[in-house]
């Protein structure tokens, strides 16, 4: 007889209890958090009623960092300790940052880590840490508003973010103590927010020009399934660049020389941004620049002049559009409409040129600043299980090809761009010398033929290959890209069956050790006990594992024999007992035991689900 389950009061969630989930748009300029309440997805305001949180972090000596409006206000006055547009630095090396000409604004610390660190009064800060501060602020806002801990979040990233940039985003979430359900591509989130699936089948384009990044995605919609056909973009092109060219023009007009201080440059940018935004509503705007000793230059910027300045930048967004169209194999006539996303699409000139290019209607009904967060909230609500009957499914793609370095510094493509994720590819390698026991593999991402023109993702070494004659070993390396677009690598020597150890050294990412250190540091500040946090996290994990098995049992218990059921129940009981204790290692072991006990059950459930889905077709074929 199966064990009768009696849960402790308040311990087990009722099957359809609403779980708290949120969507987070971690933007270059502004960030937002949104959630679904009473069936409605909406962004959450702070205590002053403001929805947008400026993505600015100010570090202070001996005090916790400040995030948002207060930090933004200090941008000009305390430029070196106030970090803005940190998204541009995520997953990037110092050389990339300097190429983007924004390194002059900050002082970067010398370090042997591949991750650049900005020198502030509060110490050297990595972009991941600064992003984590923004995420923490949004987490606190959501939890205060919703009155409870978040079960999970969906964080959006530019579709064109590469592996290093995605990993950095996930690391930041981990530092902020968030459970990431999914990294979602921003254009896909926008398509979800527009509810395009319900109204219109067919091909749609999402044009997303934000503060620092540009994405274009082409989607086919079919009864709740959002199938991304292709994506393209530029992760270093956005409203910031518009501000920069306007600021340069202002500097020229005002007769400022080549040497402009960081402080003055920040002031110029702020004035440029103000003028740009104003010109979305009016034809011309007065501008002024402080020159020196209280002397002020005054002038005027009109739309015509603005267009001359920004047209080249808008043109730069159109070649990715062409490529995405070609990769999707879609003709212009097939496109129903273009969804406009990102604050920069407020500019009339952007709307005009994009509408001309795609020759169709441009959709702007939802606030372009909020649309991504709203879409992420809808997806989070589905993923967390609040809508068990929802038909929505997002099928996204990997934006850039993955490859490995071969002889002569050439790239061999392993997974092509725009492959639907999750995806995997196995590649066989062999040894080059007799008795060789190790092999180095260099993974890169990009479309170019030369390794030096692609982005280096990681280098790893396969060790422990049994000594054999040259060319005799068969090492199968499997590249797996998960639903977040993140790569993992496993390797196995085929002849001997030896599982080679893979040591991945991210080229521009933080190592696990560095992340752990950051966690420790942040806790030291918060005076939180490291051990207590580990225990609490493991208990949450245990609760999650038990809930997952119980909800599976509630639906498919009939797939198990009585004996199997008893084993599974016993593993649940054992885990529940360990979770009461205070040994996080034992809890972890009990979770692993429960996972092992539910392996077969998982496979059977999956088979049953597939059979049910395909049942109709089988009949029609065999009768």
Partner 1 sequence: MQATDLTSSYFELFGLPVCFDIDTRALAERYRELQRVVHPDRFATAADAERRLSMQLATRVNEGFRTLKDPLARARYLLELKGVALDDADTRLDGGFLMQQMELRERMDAVKGSADAGQRLHELHGDIRQLERQLVDELATLFADGSPQALRQARDASRKLQFFHRLGEELAQLDDELAGS
Contacts with partner 1 by CB under 8 A lie at 151-152, 181-182, 222-223, 225, 227, 319, 322-323, 326, 379, 382-385, 391, 393-395, 419-424, 480, 482-483, 544-545, 547-549, 552, 591, 594-596, 598-599, 601-603, 605-607, 609-614, 617-618, 621
Cis peptide bond prior to 158, omega within 30° of 0 = no
Of 309, 234, 316, 312, residue with least CA distance to 272: 309
Q: What minimum distance in Å lies between the beta carbon of 152 and partner 1?
A: 7
Respond yes or no: is residue 25 known to be catalytic.
Answer: yes
Closest to partner 1 by CB, 50 vs 322, is 322
Respond yes or no: is residue 47 known to be catalytic.
Answer: no
Q: What minimum distance in Å lies between the beta carbon of 70 and partner 1?
A: 35
Residues 6+ apart with CB under 8 A from 179: 150, 151, 152, 153
For 584, counting Cβ atoms within 10 Å of its Cβ (0-12 exposed, 13-18 middle, 19+ buried), the class is buried
CA 444 to centroid of chain Cα atoms? 19
Closest to partner 1 by CB, 1 vs 613, is 613
CA distance 537 to 178: 11
- Using alpha carbons, list the distances in angstroms from residue 485 to 182, 185, 235, 555, 611: 10, 9, 16, 30, 28
CA distance 165 to 184: 13
Q: What minimum distance in Å lies between the beta carbon of 8 and partner 1?
A: 20
Respond yes or no: is residue 186 known to be catalytic.
Answer: yes
For the beta carbon of residue 398, count every other beta carbon within 10 angstroms.
24
Closest to partner 1 by CB, 119 vs 544, is 544
Instruction: For residue 338, give the DSSP letter.
Output: E
Of 244, 257, 572, 217, residue with least CA distance to 396: 217
The helix, strand and coil proportions of the chain, stated in percent and rounded to the nearest 5, come to 40, 25, 30
Q: What minimum distance in Å lies between the beta carbon of 612 and partner 1?
A: 8
Respond yes or no: is residue 208 known to be catalytic.
Answer: yes
Closest to partner 1 by CB, 407 vs 613, is 613
- Supply 334's token pair: 């097939």
CA distance 314 to 521: 43
CA distance 185 to 189: 6
Q: Which residue has the tokens 């060319």?
A: 471
Considering 46, 72, 87, 163, which one is annotated as catalytic? Answer: 87
Q: What minimum distance in Å lies between the beta carbon of 516 and partner 1?
A: 21
Q: What minimum distance in Å lies between the beta carbon of 192 and partner 1?
A: 12
Q: What minimum distance in Å lies between the beta carbon of 316 and partner 1?
A: 10
E strands, 372-454, in order? 393-395, 402-406, 410-415, 423-429, 439-445
Closest to partner 1 by CB, 383 vs 538, is 383
Considering 129, 171, 208, 569, which one is annotated as catalytic? Answer: 208
CA distance 383 to 375: 12
Q: What minimum distance in Å lies between the beta carbon of 224 and partner 1?
A: 8
Closest to partner 1 by CB, 368 vs 403, is 403
Closest to partner 1 by CB, 41 vs 384, is 384
Closest to partner 1 by CB, 78 vs 482, is 482
E strands, 176-251, in order? 180-185, 202-209, 214-222, 225-234
Catalytic positions: 25, 87, 186, 208
């Amino acid at each position: 007889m199966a064990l009768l389950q009696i849960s402790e009061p308040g311990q087990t969630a009722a099957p359809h209890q609403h779980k708290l989930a949120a969507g987070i748009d971690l933007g270059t300029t502004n960030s937002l958090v949104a959630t679904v309440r009473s069936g409605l997805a909406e962004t959450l305001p702070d205590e002053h009623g403001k929805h947008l949180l400026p993505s600015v972090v100010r570090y202070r000596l001996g005090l916790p960092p400040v995030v948002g409006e207060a930090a933004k206000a200090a941008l000009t006055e305390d430029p070196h300790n106030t970090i803005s547009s940190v998204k541009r630095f995520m997953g990037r090396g110092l050389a990339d940052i300097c190429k983007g000409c924004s390194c002059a604004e900050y002082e970067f610390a010398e370090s042997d880590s591949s991750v650049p660190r900005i020198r502030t009064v509060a110490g050297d800060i990595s972009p991941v840490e600064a992003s984590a501060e923004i995420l923490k602020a949004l987490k606190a806002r959501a939890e205060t508003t919703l009155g409870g801990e978040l079960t999970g979040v969906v964080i959006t990233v530019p579709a064109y973010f590469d592996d290093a940039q995605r990993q950095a985003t996930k690391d930041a979430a981990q530092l902020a103590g968030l459970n990431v359900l999914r990294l979602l591509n921003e254009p896909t989130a926008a398509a979800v927010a527009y509810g395009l699936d319900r109204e219109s089948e067919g091909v749609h384009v999402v044009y997303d020009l934000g503060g620092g990044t540009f994405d274009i995605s082409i989607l086919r919609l079919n009864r709740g399934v959002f199938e991304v056909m292709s994506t393209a973009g530029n992760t270093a092109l956005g409203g910031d660049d518009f501000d920069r060219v306007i600021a340069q023009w202002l500097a020229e007009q005002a007769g400022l020389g080549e040497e402009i201080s960081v402080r003055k440059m920040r002031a110029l940018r702020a004035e440029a941004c103000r003028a740009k935004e104003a010109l979305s509503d009016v034809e011309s705007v007065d501008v002024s620049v402080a020159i020196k000793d209280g002397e002020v230059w005054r002038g005027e910027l009109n739309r015509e002049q603005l267009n001359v300045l920004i047209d080249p930048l808008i043109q730069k967004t159109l070649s990715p559009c062409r490529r995405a169209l070609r990769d999707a194999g879609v003709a212009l006539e097939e496109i129903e409409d273009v969804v406009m996303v990102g604050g920069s699409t407020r500019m009339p000139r952007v709307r005009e040129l994009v509408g001309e290019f795609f020759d169709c209607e441009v959709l702007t009904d939802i606030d372009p600043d909020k649309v991504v967060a709203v879409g992420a909230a809808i997806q989070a609500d589905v993923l967390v299980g609040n809508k068990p009957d929802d038909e929505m499914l997002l099928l996204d793609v990997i934006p850039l090809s993955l490859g490995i370095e071969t002889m002569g510094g050439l790239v061999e493509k392993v997974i092509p761009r725009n492959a639907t994720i999750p995806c995997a590819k196995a590649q066989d390698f062999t040894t080059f010398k007799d008795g060789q026991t190790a092999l180095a593999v260099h993974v890169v991402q990009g479309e170019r033929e030369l390794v030096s023109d692609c982005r280096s993702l990681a280098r790893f070494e396969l060790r422990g290959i049994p000594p054999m004659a040259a060319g005799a070993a068969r090492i199968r390396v499997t590249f797996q890209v998960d639903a977040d677009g993140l790569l993992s690598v496993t390797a196995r020597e085929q002849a001997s069956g030896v599982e080679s150890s893979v040591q991945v050294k991210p080229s521009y990412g933080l190592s696990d050790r560095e992340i752990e250190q950051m966690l420790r540091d942040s806790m030291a500040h918060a005076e939180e006990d490291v051990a207590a946090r580990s225990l609490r996290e493991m208990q949450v994990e245990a609760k999650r594992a038990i809930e997952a098995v119980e909800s599976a049992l509630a639906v498919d218990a009939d797939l198990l024999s009585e004996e199997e059921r008893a084993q599974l129940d016993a593993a649940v009981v054992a885990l529940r007992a360990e979770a009461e204790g205070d040994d996080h290692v034992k809890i972890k072991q009990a979770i692993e035991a429960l996972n092992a006990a539910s392996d077969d059950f998982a496979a059977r459930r999956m088979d049953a689900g597939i059979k049910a889905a395909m049942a109709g077709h089988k009949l029609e074929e065999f009768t």
